[in-house]
Amino acid sequence: MASNSALLSRSGQYRLLISQGHRLTPSFCPACANASRATHPRVRTKRDASSRRYLTSSANPRAELEDTLLQLQKQSPNLINLSRLQLALQGLRRDPGTEIIRVAILGLSNGSKSGPTARRILRSLLADPLQDEQPWEKELERRDETKPLIVRVGPPQQHVVSLEIEKETGLDEMHISSPQLDGYNLEFLLMEVNVPYGAPGEMSIKSLEDSLLVPTVNIPSAADRISPISTPVHQALLVADGLMGAVNISALPVSETDESITAAVQLEGIRKQLETSFNTVDVSLAEEGVRLFRQGPQNAREFERLWFSSNIPALTKWLKAGSTSAEDETKPAVRKLIASTLQNTLSEVQLLEARKLSKTSILQGDDPAVTELNKGLAEWAQKAHSELQDELDHAFSGRRWRKLGWWKLFWRVDDVAMLTNEMLSQRFLPTAEQELVYLTGRIAQLGGASPEYSQPKRSADAASGSRTLESALRTPTLAATSASPLPKWPGHIAFTRRYLQDETVPALQSLAQKLVVQCLGTSGVATSLAALLYISSFSSTIYEAGAVAALGIVYSLGRVQKKWDAARTFWEGEVREEGRKSVRAAEESVAAALEIDASNGVVEGVDELEKTKELVVKAADALGRMK
């Protein structure tokens, strides 16, 4: 019978329920797909070709599940464990029942002998009592337990050597033939692991799964350097030693997992199983039983007694339960891996939805905190307008502005840009801008994230509705541009200041230089004309020639005074008007952010979360229909 899976609701939580089957299969590959393909290249046969055609069929739930998981990876990579997802995809790309099951034997790093105990347990699981001690057993016994080891279990190879240590992938690999487990396509990862502890009940199941089902292996990458690599597995056996190890294991929610994680504690001398959430084992009994049986078949009864007293058979049963399935059915460990990945993804989506809903309710207009923010916004706008008037009055009656009088223009024409830029930097709403940042920070603190504020438009729209200095003086107009990134608060004040500095100040500087050149040119022409008149005519006196020169100089100076005073008056009004508009636009931007209704998307990303939920449900449905 095909196993079924369904997405059910229980106490507000979604659970993926998986049934199991049975199947014996041969071995294949290690901890990473690239290494496995390089080490064990798969021979393409007619059966493989037919399988690929079968997988590409849209009516195949296995192919549908694979495609849905790929879409889920592309849609929400931050909500799904990518390492476990890749392991699930590798299993789905094989024929049903031939998946490789990776099991981690993890010694708990708590200062005890958990590392050697984990190594002894692995040896007991794989040892064949019907044969003499194998070379791999001696090699495993001599190994440093702090170095990770991959053990591939499968039928004997064509060559005589049954032990092979490879370091091409950065990890030691051992090939072992175990008659009891050869047909289960098992791979073991033997290493030590650190698990974060806490009081009982403090550690979540997800945190435990992330620590044990996706252990991190340190791979030497260069001289005195290591690179941490995630090595996802289907199942994990956490091994501890002694009373302290039992206490540490008891604080972990091992029994609350979907049987993908189990624990074993080495307690010598205990012949009766205790009522605990973990398995108590005595590896020394299993080792003694194997040793006696190898001495002769007359010790078979004693071997059986010691073997079952050690409780190692309980671990063997757990291994086989995840690796056996009916013919042409997916192995239970693969189904549990996919179900757990989908469940965790759905939990992340629900957590984000809860946060967004909470933030939306906080930002409703009837909330007292929002009312207080609206009051603070009104006070800010009033203070900003007062600051704009007071600071600009002080600036345009100050010493810097007086330095730019028309009659001082001849020796200060190059200081126009410097003096006006200083005035804008120091007097154009500096305090209002700082208080606006503080106000938006309070809004972000209230809502949990900074909302999107409307920003000033670029190009000609930034100056629409008002004349520019250049148009008033009939000079070319340049569009205001800004290449800086948008801030997380209304940037109208900074944008307006930058516009005035980049567009109007250069125009004012250019006009000043132009007026000085024109004045000097007109005065020079008038003086030359007076000199020519005096020289060419005997009847003209020096007074008449001087009158002509004086007329030209007075005309040019009067023209400078008239145009420069008009330009200064217009620029002063321009600064005041643009400042008033920037304050008003910033006020409207903050008010709009406070008035956004939940249905209009106070928090973005709701559609993306809904799409992710749909993909999870679709994947769960395909998992339920898959054999």
Which pLDDT belongs to residue 54? 44
Closest CA to 440 of 515, 518, 493, 361: 493
Band of residue 4 on the pLDDT scale cut at 50, 70, 90: very low
Query: Pick the residue with more confidence: 327 or 54?
Result: 327
Compute CA distances 177 → 35, 134, 143, 155, 221, whole Å: 20, 10, 19, 5, 31
Provide the pLDDT for residue 31.
36
Phi–psi pair at 6, nearest 5 degrees: -140, 150
Average pLDDT over residues 75-94: 88
Residue 198's pLDDT is 60
Q: Which two tokens stand for residue 218?
A: 């340190």
Please choose, from the candidates 161, 216, 587, the residue with its C-alpha nearest in 3D space to the C-alpha of residue 374: 587
Alpha-carbon span 316 to 26, nearest angstrom? 17
Mean pLDDT of 121-147: 87
How far is residue 326's CA from residue 492's CA, in Å, rounded to a whole number? 68
What is the model's pLDDT at position 145? 75
**Pairing verdict, β 235-241 and 261-266:** parallel
| pLDDT on residue 415 | 76
Q: Identify the band that residue 422 occupies on the pLDDT scale cut at 50, 70 and 90.
A: confident
3-state DSSP of 26-66: CCCCCCCHHHHHHHCCCCCCHHHHHHHHHHCCCCCHHHHHH
The tokens for 513 are 């230089």
Mean pLDDT for the stretch of residues 42-58: 44
Query: Sign of dihedral through CA atoms 136, 141, 147, 153?
Result: positive
Q: Are 164 and 173 in contact (CB under 8 A)?
A: yes
The pLDDT of residue 102: 93
Would you state the pLDDT for residue 480?
Answer: 37
The pLDDT value given to residue 125: 92
Whole-number Å distance between alpha carbons of 240 and 118: 8
| Residue-level pLDDT at 477 | 33
pLDDT higher at 72 or 203: 72
Task: State how far the Cα of 619 lies from the Cα of 338, in Å rounded to an integer.
Answer: 9
Q: Quick one: 1 exposed, middle or buried, by C-beta within 10 A (0-12, 13-18, 19+)?
A: exposed
Phi-psi region of 561 (alpha: psi -120 to 50; beta: other; left: phi over 0): alpha
**Range scoring the smallest mean pLDDT among 93-107, 301-315, 403-417, 605-619:** 403-417
Report how far residue 600's alpha carbon sits from residue 102's, in angstroms, rounded to the nearest whole number. 47
Proportion of the chain above pLDDT 90, given as a percent: 8
Classify 461 as helix, strand or coil.
Answer: helix
Average pLDDT, stretch 593-620? 69
58: pLDDT confidence band, cut at 50, 70 and 90?
low
Residue 103 in this model has a pLDDT that exceeds 90: yes
| Residue 121, pLDDT score | 92
More confident residue, 528 or 71: 71
DSSP string, 500-511: IIIIIHHHHHHH
Question: Token pair for residue 395?
Answer: 């600036």
The residue among 607 and 501 whose pLDDT is bigger is: 501
Share of residues in the chain with pLDDT > 70 (%): 72
CA atoms within 13 A on the CB side of 24: 7
Question: pLDDT, tens digit, for every residue of 389-400?
Answer: 888 888 888 777
By DSSP bridging, strand 5-10 and strand 13-18 are: antiparallel
Amino acid at 124: S
Element of type H or E holding 10: strand 5-10
What tens digit of pLDDT does each residue of 436-476 get?
888 888 777 765 556 667 677 653 344 443 444 334 333 33
Q: CA–CA separation, 208 vs 612, rounded Å? A: 24
pTM over 0.85: no
Which of 283, 108, 279 shows the shortest CA–CA distance to 191?
108
Residues 617 and 8: their CA atoms lie apart, in Å, by 10
Size (the chain), residues: 627
pLDDT for the residue 364? 52
Q: In whole numbers, what is the pLDDT of the chain averaged over residues?
A: 75
Nearest by Cα to 188 from 259, 239, 128: 239
Confidence (pLDDT) at 402: 73
Residue 36: what pLDDT?
Answer: 38
Residue with more model confidence, 89 or 24: 89
DSSP characters over 371-385: HHHHHHHHHHHHHHH
Q: Stretch 473-487: mean pLDDT, rounded? A: 41
Distance from C-alpha of 342 to C-alpha of 339, rounded to nearest angstrom? 5
Question: SS in 3 state form for 238-306?
Answer: EEEEHHHHHHHHHCCCHHHCCCCEEEEEECCCCCCCCCCCCEEECHHHHHHHHHHHHHCHHHHHHHHHH
Please give the pLDDT value at position 235. Answer: 92
What is the model's pLDDT at position 237? 92
Q: What distances in angstroms separate CA 38 from CA 30, 35, 161, 168, 169, one per listed residue?
A: 10, 5, 20, 10, 10
Mean pLDDT lowest among 274-278, 304-308, 311-315, 497-501: 274-278
User: pLDDT tens-digit profile of 17-35?
Assistant: 333 333 333 333 333 333 3
Between 366 and 40, the more confident residue is 366
In this model, does residue 47 exceed pLDDT 80? no
Asked which of 92-96, 123-127, 375-379 is least confident by mean pLDDT, the reply is: 375-379
User: What is the separation, in whole angstroms, between the first and last Cα of the chain?
Assistant: 8
In sequence order, the β-bridge partners of residue 230 are: 216
Q: Are the beta carbons of 108 and 240 closer than 8 angstroms? A: yes
